[in-house]
Amino acid sequence: MAKPPKTATSGDQKTEADLRAERRAAALRANLHRRKAQARQRIDDAGDSSGDTQKDSES
């Protein structure tokens, strides 16, 4: 006699703690990307404004 196939849903279900941990990890990754983008923007803005200041003082 053949055994009935096992359902994949019982092993693939995640607990609430697992789901919460995944959401937290995704939020932390998004926050990291946002903060890196903000830092790059500040560096770009600082580089642009310092160049303008030097040009103004040389004239």
Q: What is the pLDDT of residues 1-45, one digit of tens each?
A: 676 666 555 567 899 999 999 999 999 999 999 999 999 999 999
Q: What is the pTM of this model?
A: 0.54
- Secondary structure of the chain: what % helix, strand, coil (to 5)? 80, 0, 20
